[in-house]
Structure formats: C-alpha cells, structure tokens
Amino acid sequence: MLDDISGPRDLDALTPEELRMLAAEIREFLIAEVAKTGGHLGPNLGVVELTIALHRVFDSPRDPIVFDTGHQSYVHKMLTGRKDFSRLRQRGGIAGYPQRSESEHDIVESSHASSSLSWADGISRAFARRAQADPSQRDRHVVAVVGDGALTGGMTWEALNNITDDNDRNLVIVVNDNGRSYAPTIGGMARFLNSVRTTSSYRDLQESSEKLFSAFGAPGRTVYSAARGAMRGIASRASGNQDLYSNLDIKYLGPIDGHDLVAVETALRQARSYGRPTLVHVITEKGRGYAPALNDTADQFHAIGRIHPGSGEPVQSAEGRSWTGVFRDRLVELAESDERIVGITAAMLAPTGLDGLAERFPDRVYDVGIAEQHAVTSAAGLAYGGLHPVVAIYATFMNRALDQLLMDVALHRAGVTFVLDRAGLTGPDGPSHNGVWDLAMLQIVPGIRIAAPRDAASLGQLLAEAVRVEDAPTVIRYPKGPVGDDIPALRRTDDGVDVLRERGDGSDEEPDEGPGDVLFVTVGPMARIALDAAELLERDGISSTVVDPRWVIPVAGSVVELARGHRLVVSIEDGIRVGGIGTRIRQALRDAGVDTAVSELGTPDEFPEHASRDELLEQAGLTAERIAADVAPRVRDV
C-alpha cells in the first residue's frame, strides 16, 4: 500500500483496516531501510499511527506540522512523497531531520529540542493576525508534536505560558509520551506523566481495546472508539491528569493510545474543532513492532548505526575506539581518586559517555533533562559547594547556555569542566549537529581555557589537567567517531605545546639555523592533516614545523615565539574561520610585535549540510593535498 501514497491526501480514502496495513508496511520499510544506513529508528517506529492520523486530520502544509527535534519525522517524509531512503543522512540523500529544501511540508529544520511550541506560538499568532484581514485564513491550524522528554526543557514552559495568554488561536499541541527522550525521561514531569500512563483507568482502556479488536476485528475497534471519549473523561478525572493543564488554561485531551489509529484520529479531530490551544496527550511505545529495539533497555534504538535487520545486531566496523569511549573510561579513572568529580548530563547520559561514571558512582551523576542552561548554572553551584562538575554535552547544545557560562560560571571564576562531544564537522546529522561554532563562541569568555586533544593519549592528559583547574571554566572538545592511533610528540615546550614535527625532515634532531618556511598550528585531530601536508610540502622543498598547542586558548607564548622564526603561520581548525583560533593567534602575534603572516584555515561561515566528515572536510578545503597546494605559493610570495 505504501507504493500508492505520494502525498497526505492519498490517505483520506483508506479504511481503518487499510490504514493498519499501511502502518505495518511503514514499520517494515523503516526497519529494512534504516538498517542499511543507520539513523533514528526507535523514535520513528513509535510514531507511525500518530503521523498517519496527523496527515489525515490536518492539511499539511497549509496546516503546518512542527516536529520538536525532528528526528521522528521519517514517517512524515514517507507520507509526503519521500520514500527513497537509500542515502538517508548521506550526501545527496534525504536528511535525518526536516529540511525545507526537500519539501514544503518541512517547516522547522533545527534539531534542538524544546523549541517547537515557541515556533507554533509564533506561527499561530501570525495566522490569527492575517485572518483579521483575510477570512480564508481563519481555518488554518498549527500542530506542534513534542515528546515528553522535551517537556523537561525550560523553553517549552516559557512557550506554554505565552500560548495560554491568548486563547483565540487554532493551535494543537500533541505530546508524544513514550517515557523517554534519548533515554528514560527524568524529573517531576516524567513522574507525573508516568502516573497517567500507569493509572488503572488507562490500563483498563488499553485492555478493553485489545480484547474488542481481538474478538471483532476492525468493527470492534470502531465500536469501542465511538464510546471512548466518555471513557477518556472518566480516566482523566480518576488520575487527576487534567489538573496540571487546566491550571495553565489549556484544553486537555487524553491519555490516548497512540497506536490506536481510530482513537488518535478522533482525538485530533476533536482538538481541531475547538478553535483554541489544545493539548492532546498520546502515549506511544518507542521502537514499536521491532523486538530488538524493545529489548534495548538503554535507548530502544534511538539512533543506530548500520545493523542486521533480523537480529538488530550492529554490522561490525573496523573503526576502533571512539572519542566518547576514551573520555568515558578516563573520567572514571580520575573519579576513582578524586571525590570532588561529579558529572552533569542534559538527557544524554550514554551518548556523551557519562554512563560509565553513573555505573561506577550512581550518586555522582546528575541528569537534568533537556535543560542545558540549568545544567551550566547548577554546575556553578556545585563548584561553589566544593565539587568539580564535568558537564558533558554535544558541542552544538552548548550554544544554548552561553549566557550561563559567561555570567554564572566565568564571572564567578567557577571551576567547571565542559566536555563537548560532536565538536567540529561531525557528518550525517546535518546543520544542527555539526559543532563548528564552539571555538569562535567560547573563546570570548574571559578566563576560559579551551583544549582540543589530537588523540586518545592527549584526551586523557588534558582531562586530568582540566579537572585540576579550580578558578576558571575549562573546555575539552573532540569530534564524533573513531579516535585513531596516537600521534607522538617530538618534544613539549615549557608551556605545554607539543612539537610534532621540526622543520626539515621531521626527525628529532636539532633544526637547521635560520627561519623556517611554515609553522602549522593545529587544533585537535587536525594534526594528522597538518603532518600529511607538511610531508607534501617537504617534497616541494618547503620546510615545515607542526605544533599541537593542546590548550588552544589562551594562545601559548611558545606558539608566538615559534611564529617569530617562520615565514608563514598556518592555523588549521574544523570550526568556522570567523573569530576562530586562527584569528586569536593573529591577534596574539600582533600584540607581541611579530609580523609573520598568518593563514587561517577552517570551515566557511555557513551551515554544513549532512555528509560524511571526510566529505565535509574536503568541501571546506581541509585536506592535506589542498592545504599543501594553497600554502606553497603563499610561502614563495612572503
């Protein structure tokens, strides 16, 4: 049946039984296709019926559907004409999140959680305003699909506060409640929703539905659904779950079995008819219909690599140890001997590597939910109380908490270590997850110290150094993926800069007298590329020195002195060039009266699309061959 669906209106004529068959086909398709490429499997298996119902009740894109985070939009893509998943999250293929360039049905591209209600608030206000002059606009609706995990984010509640301030709008909020964000949702809101899920009234509704369907098939489900509105009211009153939302002055419908297509559609049509902001509470099962996902207690196949579809086992890769894994193990080692170390995560315990610390010291890790701002200020408080917090988050999520880092941590000279996973060009997750802004953004913070390890050994060393700093924020950033082999240093300067290659042949002998040609100053894993570029330049008669500052901010004095002895400095980073580390080096040289020319290499000031890390590096000109070709004529011109 899926072959016959090219757009949402193709769903309109299908019978309940045909819709059930379509849902089964969609799940089979998702398992088969995502297994080949990797991606967000569990969340999409959980929203099949919900997405079908949304597109039957609402007229997308005239009625915009805003997906919070957007990782659960695969079914939406399929129902809006995008069924070629052969290159999912790969260059030239469809994105793993909504993307406007793909379809008019995709509204919000940002894949950061808790923002959908603010988007929906703004869109619905615009529609209401336009309807004052154009009556044809009055029947337009806005739908926000938000997970229960996103309700842990403060931005959601800021939006709810404003949404309920003006009720004359067609706005429907669908809470997709599966008890999880990436992992199980935490906090008071999670406990409240769990009480709704487990109330005897709701369980009775589920059991009655299944018994009727087993006995009578689709007609039994239809008869049951017709009486379900009254039964839902009884369940709601019994559990008291309307109280929270009635206090916010928002209409509440639920809880609804999110896998009962008729029930979900009935509730959505009811919400559509109200003409005021309405919340529909839908309970779903992450990984629905796929046993390996349901049996995965960690994250129910939230995001997977390539797997064998039958067993769910990962396809073996020769990539080796990951950056996250190195951090995980080293943090536990440090915590063993330093009781001050505690961890903070924003709903990303395993993805950031804090799960190791949580297993070893369960009472020394705090999961604050999707609340990065709170995490950072809470860390300042922990530091004031005599602990050393390690805040582990994705690099792009650090953007959300810049004010807290600046005013709560740095201003108060708090000893907090930030570990930024997925920094730099990360690849297939696209613009919202490529962490190219952290170096430019964070170096403006007074007193901050930023480290970029080049390999596993330096990551372990730098983490140990960072947690000893008690009077300033420290940052350690590294990319996604395998860490690779260690890169040994020839020597280390007195202020901690590693010299990886001396100008000349790269041996550890004393360099020749006189100025060198090129000084490469590398940021983290870009050291490998610089060493390869230096080798290529050597064949062309151009000598190079390659250094890894380790701590890239502040700029070390030895970097300045080394620059004084070379004709050209080339900085290489996988972050944006605008305001990046190269800019800071140029300023340091100017302040010291060093007139050596500086070439700043990095990514352009644009949003990197989804592609592999290597493809994105090549696109940015950050390959050894390209760098050597660009540097050679510059050296000759100096």
Rounded to the nearest 10 degrees, the angle between the axes of helix 200-216 and helix 188-198 is: 40
Is 584 a domain residue? yes
pLDDT band at 354 (very low <50, low <70, confident <90, very high): very high
Dist. CA 344–CA 467, nearest whole Å: 14
User: Where is the binding site, in residues?
Assistant: 71, 111-113, 148-150, 178, 290, 372
Which listed residue (49, 285, 372, 615) is catalytic? 372
Between the alpha carbon of residue 478 and those of residues 401, 438, 483, 512, 547, the distances in Å are 19, 11, 9, 34, 18
Dist. CA 78–CA 196, nearest whole Å: 32
Per residue in 523-546, pLDDT (tens digit) is: 999 999 999 999 999 999 999 999
Of 451 and 513, the one with more pLDDT: 451
Dist. CA 114–CA 157, nearest whole Å: 9
The amino acid present at 210, given as its one-letter code, is E
User: Where is the binding site for Mg(2+), in residues?
Assistant: 148, 178
Which listed residue (400, 422, 449, 503) is catalytic? 400
Q: What integer pLDDT is reported at residue 195 of this predicted model?
A: 67
- Told to judge if 33 belongs to the known catalytic residues of this protein, a careful annotator would answer no
* 462 and 535 assigned to the same domain: no
Q: Are strands 566-576 and 597-603 parallel, antiparallel or unpaired?
A: parallel
pLDDT band at 433 (very low <50, low <70, confident <90, very high): confident
* 564 and 428 assigned to the same domain: no
Contact 345, 354 (CB under 8 A): yes
* 329 and 181 assigned to the same domain: no
Which of 294, 314, 343 is the last residue in one of the domains?
294
331, two tokens:
């943090």
**Mean predicted confidence (pLDDT) in 358-374:** 95
Q: What is the mean pLDDT of the chain?
A: 88
Per residue in 112-125, pLDDT (tens digit) is: 889 999 999 999 99
My answer on whether omega of the bond before 314 falls inside 30° of 0, hence cis, is no
CATH number assigned to the domain comprising residue 217: 3.40.50.970
pLDDT band at 220 (very low <50, low <70, confident <90, very high): very low
* 123 and 246 assigned to the same domain: yes
Reported as half-sphere exposure (CB side, CA atoms, 13 A), residue 80 has a value of 24
How many CB atoms sit inside 10 A of residue 170's CB?
Answer: 24
Dist. CA 103–CA 111, nearest whole Å: 16
Q: What integer pLDDT is reported at residue 314 of this predicted model?
A: 84
Is 306 a domain residue? no
Dist. CA 166–CA 175, nearest whole Å: 20
Rounded to the nearest 10 degrees, the angle between the axes of helix 261-274 and helix 16-37 is: 100
Contact 519, 562 (CB under 8 A): yes
Dist. CA 96–CA 78, nearest whole Å: 12
Per residue in 116-154, pLDDT (tens digit) is: 999 999 999 999 999 988 988 889 999 999 988 888 888
- Told to judge if 276 belongs to the known catalytic residues of this protein, a careful annotator would answer no
pLDDT band at 327 (very low <50, low <70, confident <90, very high): very high
Is 301 a domain residue? no
Q: What integer pLDDT is reported at residue 309 of this predicted model?
A: 87
Dist. CA 18–CA 6, nearest whole Å: 16
Domain count within the chain = 3
The domain of 567 spans 491-637
* 274 and 376 assigned to the same domain: no
Is 12 a domain residue? yes
Dist. CA 526–CA 546, nearest whole Å: 11
260, two tokens:
């009962």
Q: What integer pLDDT is reported at residue 223 of this predicted model?
A: 41
- Told to judge if 109 belongs to the known catalytic residues of this protein, a careful annotator would answer no
Q: What integer pLDDT is reported at residue 225 of this predicted model?
A: 46
Which residues are paired to 175 by β-bridges? Answer: 146, 281
* 512 and 451 assigned to the same domain: no
* 536 and 622 assigned to the same domain: yes
pLDDT band at 424 (very low <50, low <70, confident <90, very high): very high
Rounded to the nearest 10 degrees, the angle between the axes of helix 261-274 and helix 228-239 is: 80
User: Where is the binding site for thiamine diphosphate, in residues?
Assistant: 71, 111-113, 149-150, 178, 290, 372
> Which among 164-168, 195-199, 500-504, 529-533 has the top mean pLDDT?
529-533
Print the SS3 string covering 285-311: CCCCCCHHHHCCCCCCCCCECCECCCC
* 445 and 529 assigned to the same domain: no
Helix residue spans in 134-199 (DSSP H): 154-163, 188-198
Full-model pTM: 0.85
For the chain, first and last CA: distance in Å? 67
Tell me: pLDDT of 476 over 90: yes
* 392 and 422 assigned to the same domain: yes
Is 316 a domain residue? no
Which listed residue (286, 477, 567, 577) is catalytic? 286
Per residue in 232-249, pLDDT (tens digit) is: 443 443 344 555 666 667
Of 57 and 312, the one with more pLDDT: 57
How many CB atoms sit inside 10 A of residue 107's CB?
Answer: 22
Phi first, then psi, for residue 256 (nearest 5°) are -115, 140
CATH number assigned to the domain comprising residue 545: 3.40.50.920
Is 303 a domain residue? no
Which of 416, 450, 477 is the last residue in one of the domains?
477
Of 41 and 505, the one with more pLDDT: 41
For the purposes of burial, counting CB atoms within 10 Å of the CB of 624, is it exposed (0-12), middle (13-18) or buried (19 or more)?
Answer: middle
Is 312 a domain residue? no
54, two tokens:
């949304």
* 343 and 422 assigned to the same domain: yes
Q: What integer pLDDT is reported at residue 294 of this predicted model?
A: 87
Q: What integer pLDDT is reported at residue 246 of this predicted model?
A: 61
Which of 477, 509, 536 is the last residue in one of the domains?
477
Is 181 a domain residue? yes
* 128 and 272 assigned to the same domain: yes
| Percent of the chain surpassing pLDDT 70 | 87
State the DSSP H helix or E strand holding residue 516, giving kind and residue range, or none if neither. strand 516-522
The amino acid present at 561, given as its one-letter code, is E
| Cα dihedral 385/396/317/292 (nearest 10) | 80
Q: Are strands 498-501 and 544-548 parallel, antiparallel or unpaired?
A: antiparallel
* 507 and 473 assigned to the same domain: no
Per residue in 35-80, pLDDT (tens digit) is: 999 999 999 999 999 999 999 999 999 999 999 989 999 999 999 9
Between the alpha carbon of residue 508 and those of residues 15, 48, 534, the distances in Å are 76, 61, 15
Between the alpha carbon of residue 21 and those of residues 16, 42, 215, 324, the distances in Å are 9, 20, 18, 41
